[in-house]
Amino acid sequence: MENVIKQSVGIDCSKDELVCCLSMLQLGQTIKNISQQTFKNDQKGFKSLLKWSEKNFLQNLEQLFVVEATGVYHEKLAYFIAENGLQISVVLPSKISHYRKSMNLKTDNDKTAAIGIAEFGLVKKLEAWKKPEPILRTFRQLLRERAQLQSMLIEVKSMQHAHTTGVIYSEKTTKRFKKQCEFYKSQVKDVELEIEELLESNPAIKEKVKTICTINGVGQLTVLTIAGETDGFNLIRNKRQLVSYAGLDVVDKSSGTSVRGKSRISKRGNKWIRRALYFPALTAVKHSPAFKSDYARIVKNTAIKMKGVVAIERKLLILIYTLWKSEEAYDPDRYKKIGSAITADPTELDQVRSIEIQR
């Protein structure tokens, strides 16, 4: 085929199937959908996918696979393609969704989703996905498990409190609630012990975590959560991208003189990172003079405490990222204005101070 400048396979993943579309971009920005096929989401299906793509790809051009990040269903495929020496990009669902809206498609199904993903790979410059370090992926799994166990423990405690507050309640039910609480507490301790043992087995990561934990309010579980959720900041190229990935980026809705929406954070990013930063931000505000002054200034200007907390979360996140990359010791004076390093635009800094959050 003549005049083709780029080619990609878009893959819509589900639990059992991979719906694929191979598209090509020609000179003049014309996109042609060459072939569509459905494969099983297993090792046999992965091999069939590669045979099909090799048959339809032009051999003189880069071969790109693009997949939407759908929970964990895409992960085995991503590992398989990367291990076979091919390039695959994993894209957040929100980005694909916004692009598909611009296509004005009249139908919405797996086939049109695959077309949208393939075309997105043609018109955008995407980062190649890299296999994360196994230890960071294990940290991510363990820390998510710990967070979920803690949520269940809180839920059981609330149920126990509601049950025993009534005038008439069952002693047997109360005992069962207590047993559930003890069980979840023991599970949390087991997970924390496994995290500690895993950290001891990797001196390099342990040293990084130890250095970052010199920040007031930041503990090793917070650092490991952020490192695990970002794969050690593997695909993070700058601070602005990191803030957006965590969902702490500012969204300002205004148009002309009639639309004047309030600035708020997008919350479209990783919820585990935001959750991990909340209590460290409160501690930093209480015990760190630098963070305390920033918090006080924002609350004074806005009269809303939560806005100040979110600004400190954002600042802590950037500071953790900076120290992880530089492998330097924390210097309060040097990093005093680390949050301001995202941008030199005073307008955006004013927006950061006026974030409205709804947790």
Match 């004076």 to its residue by tokens.
Answer: 333
pLDDT-derived band at 102 (thresholds 50, 70, 90) equals confident
Domain co-membership, 225 together with 343:
yes
Domain check: are 249 and 297 in the same one?
Answer: yes
Give tens-digit pLDDT for 218-228.
999 999 999 99
Please identify which residue in the block is written with the tokens 């917070």: 222
Could you give the angle at the alpha carbon of 315 between the alpha carbons of 309 and 321, nearest 5°? Answer: 140
If we measure between CA atoms, which residue out of 217, 195, 175 comes closest to residue 316?
217
Kind of pairing between the strands at 64-68 and 264-265: unpaired
Based on the domain organization, do 145 and 45 belong to the same domain?
A: no
Based on its alpha-carbon atoms, the radius of gyration of the chain, rounded to whole angstroms, reads: 24
302 belongs to a structural domain: yes
113 lies in some domain:
yes
Give bridge partners of residue 255 from the DSSP assignment: 259
**Residue 146 belongs to domain spanning:** 134-201
- To which residue do tokens 């929970």 refer? 71
Whether the predicted model's global pTM rises above the 0.95 cut = no
Do 186 and 216 fall within a single domain? no
Query: Is the pLDDT at 261 greater than 70, yes or no?
Result: no
What local confidence, expressed as pLDDT, does residue 350 receive? Answer: 37
Contact yes or no for 117/67 (Cβ under 8 A):
yes
Residue 206 lies in a domain: no
- Worst-scoring range by mean pLDDT, 21-25, 107-111, 158-162? 107-111
Residues above pLDDT 70, as percent of the chain: 88
Report the SS3 class of residue 104: coil
236/341 same-domain check: yes
The CATH number for 73's domain is 3.30.420.10
Is the residue at 358 inside a domain? Answer: no
Domain boundary among 88, 123, 158: 123
Examine the domain organization and report whether 164 and 235 are in the same domain. no
Last residue of a domain, one of 76, 94, 123: 123
| Domain assignment present for 147 | yes
Other beta carbons less than 10 A from residue 28's beta carbon? 7
Q: What is the chain's mean pLDDT, rounded?
A: 86
Report residue 54 as tokens: 């090799």
Q: Is the pLDDT of residue 347 over 80?
A: no
Least confident of 67-81, 97-111, 186-200: 97-111
- CB-based contact 204:327 (threshold 8 Å): no
More confident residue, 356 or 155: 155
Is the pLDDT confidence value at 338 over 50?
yes
Residues 165 and 269 occupy one common structural domain: no
CA distance 204 to 210: 10
Give every CB contact of residue 328 below 8 A, 6+ residues apart in sequence.
211
Residues 252 and 157 reside in one and the same domain: no
Region 73-95: mean pLDDT is: 91
Residues 220 and 300 reside in one and the same domain: yes
Average pLDDT over residues 47-60: 94
Residue closest to 250 by CA, chosen among 318, 350, 336, 337:
350
The total number of residues shown for the chain amounts to 359
- The highest-confidence range among 156-165, 241-250, 338-347, by mean pLDDT, is 156-165
Domain boundary among the residues 123, 155, 179 is at 123
Dihedrals phi, psi of 152, to nearest 5 degrees: -65, -35
Cα–Cα distances (Å) from 132 to 97, 140, 184, 313, in that order, read: 25, 11, 30, 25
Residue 277 lies in a domain: yes
pLDDT at residue 359 is higher than 50: no
Q: Please report the DSSP string for 157-169 in residue order.
A: HHHHHHHHHSSS-
Separation between Cα atoms, residue 54 and residue 86, nearest integer Å: 11
285 pLDDT band, cuts 50/70/90, is very high
Local structure of residue 127 (DSSP, 8 states): P
What gap in Å lies between CA 245 and CA 221, rounded to an integer? 19
Decide which of 270 and 191 is more confident. Answer: 191
> What's the pLDDT band for 342 if we cut at 50, 70, 90?
very low
- Domain membership of residue 311 (yes or no) is yes
Picking from 59-63, 248-252, 274-278, 309-313, which range would have the lowest pLDDT averaged per residue? 248-252
State CA 35 to chain mean position distance.
32
Handedness of CA 310, 313, 314, 315 (dihedral sign): positive
- pLDDT tens per residue across span 297-312: 989 988 889 889 999 9
In a domain, 129, yes or no: no
Query: Does position 253 have pLDDT exceeding 90, yes or no?
Result: no
Same domain for 236 and 324? Answer: yes
pLDDT of the residue at 260: 53
Our count of domains for the chain comes to 3
Q: Do 224 and 190 fall into the same domain?
A: no
Q: Residue 238 — pLDDT band, cuts 50, 70, 90?
A: confident
Q: Are residues 142 and 110 in the same domain?
A: no
